[in-house]
Amino acid sequence: MGKNKEFGREILIIGLLSVLEHPEDTDRLLTTLSQYFGPIRTHTPRQLFQWTDYYNNEMGLPIWRSYIEFENLIDPSLLATIKLTTNEIEKRFSEEGRRRVNLDPGLLAPGRFVLATTKDRAHRLVLKDGIYAELTLIFEKKAFHALPWTYPDWASEPVRLLLAGWRKRIFASRN
């Protein structure tokens, strides 16, 4: 018979899509995120988001992509609660019913990267309160690998290398 064990702590990552024009708006967003999820360890430079036009009508252009790594390792069973919180933050930063930020929280573990989502698909697992988990990347043979459904920006080599570098911190915290 198996024995229940406490989950290992994981790194909270948020993929940020933003049309915020003023640095003070971005600073306010980052302050809000850190109030909920703890100190931000890394916020990557923003790059023009050109992977899809899915968000263009709602958010407008230009859309910028960046990634946020949080300092504190967290209990992975909190992923659904984190997604519900990021949904509320998105609403807070919306204008006239249009999102100005899109926050995609995920958890980085030694063997995987998982994103939280509100969209049900065959490859997603139910968490709670209308939130699903998607296995987005797997780590094997010393690298992250995309799956057939992985969004192209998360599947890109620069992002996979970024996450692989951040992943090393999990092992350092366990020693």
Q: What confidence tens digit (pLDDT) does each residue in 7-53 have?
A: 999 999 999 999 998 999 999 999 999 999 999 999 999 999 999 99
Residue given tokens 């980085």 in the structure block? 108
Q: What confidence tens digit (pLDDT) does each residue in 103-122 have?
A: 999 999 999 999 999 999 99
Q: What confidence tens digit (pLDDT) does each residue in 61-95 have?
A: 999 999 999 999 999 999 999 999 999 999 999 99
Closest to 87 in 3D by CA, of 26, 129, 48, 39: 129
Q: State pTM to two decimals.
A: 0.94
Can you tell me the distance from the alpha carbon of 82 to that of 106, in angstroms, rounded to the nearest whole number?
9
Contacts of 133 (CB under 8 A, 6+ apart): 79, 80, 114, 115, 116, 117, 124, 125, 127
**Domain definitions of the chain by residue range:** 10-174
In this structure, what are the phi and psi dihedrals at residue 135, rounded to the nearest 5 degrees? -70, 115
